Structure 1
Amino acid sequence: MIEKKLLAEGIAPSYFIEGMLWNVPNDRFFGNYREMWAACFNWVNSNDPSNLTTGSGMHWLVRDNENVCWPSANFQTFTAALKKYWEM
């Protein structure tokens, strides 16, 4: 996504992506990769990002002005870029 200029470097570190996916319920991981991707992405897009936690459950995942959190604007930028990338 960075190489295709859909996302700037540093917007979506892997540990934030991992945290985002950790929140997706297990029942969304089914079928082939296309079905699974759509189910996970749709779940993330239909839920309030401020309710997401890190995998440890010790911190909120998406919060502004917090050192250990994914800034809201970066989360929104990532999910928008992810949608564009999927549609390519």
Structure 2
Amino acid sequence: MRAELKKVCEFWADRGVDGLRLDVINLISKDQAFPNDDIGDGRRFYTDGPRIHEYLQEMSRDVFTPRNLMTVGEMSSTSLENCQQYASLDGASCR
């Protein structure tokens, strides 16, 4: 899935776009055990998953930074603390 997401971003970058909006991008990392949520709606298992920052750093390194793309990421059901990590000024996550 990450490889396909990269291809989509590269497709548009190759056609001259300067930036991309990444809709609910914080949902691309999930607990691979796919546990049931007996006390809620499952958000705690599919939002801000265990490898989300690793995946976004990979996208930044491989796609966004080399093409100087501006990105806007919509974050569904996340916390203020997580938003601060996503928007880090050093560009270590999603740029």
TM-score interval for Structure 1 and Structure 2 normalised by the shorter chain = 0.3 to 0.5
* Higher Rg of the two aligned structures: 2
Q: TM-score, normalised by structure 1?
A: 0.33
More strand by percentage: 2
Q: TM-score, normalised by structure 2?
A: 0.32
Pick 1 or 2: higher relative contact order, CA cutoff 8 A, min separation 6. Answer: 2
More helix by percentage: 1
